[in-house]
Amino acid sequence: MTAASIDPRDRLIFALDVPDAIAARQLVEQLGDSVTFYKIGLELMAAGGYFELADWLLKRNKKVFADLKFFDVPATVGRSVALLAKRGITFATVHGNQGIMEAAAAAKGELKILAVTVLTSLDRGDLDDLGFKCDVEALVLSRARRALEAGCDGVVASGLELPAMRRAIDSRLLVVTPGIRPVENRPSDDQKRVVTVEQAFADGANYIVVGRPIRDARDPRAAAEAIQQTIARQFSATS
């Protein structure tokens, strides 16, 4: 997969963060063809019916990003990734050290492995609490380099570190950027390191992940389609 080969409409990944699979299916039906790529994470895993939902999405020609952030002993992660790779899912995340990333990459088959760099809900103060004394950008770049060395296909990284990453890291590395806010961030939002749709792609993101700005909109389908139109304009201008 190269940056040029990505369908612009696939560049929007909707974070399907809802309480259960019934709510998820209802929202997918509401969104219709405005979204082609869905991220399903831990909340839906805990609710039950996770893989049934993934299969349901795949049967509707949707792409699936399994955001489960595998973190365990490498052998367990490798076996889990190998099983996940049989399901037709496009992306899965790992969140661990070099051995974990290498095990995931070795078992991935056609599944693309994304290494989490630094969660977009964390800022400098949070990293101090966790014992990381380097600055956020240095930590993101270090983890991105190590992910590429381990054989991962890409990383999940905030848009704030994208310019430095694209200057310093091989362009083969796919970058999926969460924390996207089409409008000003709300004070109650737990995403601290955010960027706009335009800024993320201008700085080198391959995909963006958007959740609440679509899910909580008065008209989720219209909100998703507005983002799709922004993406289409941006890529038609650069083609």
Give a three-class secondary structure readout of 94-110. ECCCHHHHHHHHHHCCC
* Confidence at residue 129, expressed as pLDDT on a 0 to 100 scale: 59
d(CA 72, CA 172) in angstroms, rounded, equals 27
- The mean pLDDT values, 10 residues at a time, for the chain of 239 residues are 80 97 98 98 94 98 96 96 96 93 97 83 54 69 91 91 86 89 51 76 94 94 96 82
Kindly state the tokens that stand for 113: 């492995």
Tell me which residue of 25, 24, 65, 17 sits closest to 177, measured CA to CA: 65
- The per-residue pLDDT for 140 is 81
Dist. CA 6–CA 206, nearest whole Å: 8
Q: Tell me which residue has tokens 């309480």.
A: 19
Which superfamily does 3-238 belong to?
A: Aldolase class I (3.20.20.70)
Q: Which listed residue (39, 59, 63, 69) is catalytic? A: 69
Q: How far apart, in whole angstroms, are the C-alpha atoms of residue 116 and residue 69?
A: 7
pLDDT at 236: 87
pLDDT at position 184 is: 47
What integer pLDDT is reported at residue 5 of this predicted model? 85
Q: Which sequence spans correspond to the domains of the chain? A: 3-238
What confidence score (pLDDT) does residue 153 get? 96
Statement: the pTM of the whole predicted model exceeds 0.85: yes
pLDDT at 161: 84
62 counts as catalytic: no
Contact between 54 and 64 (Cβ < 8 Å): yes
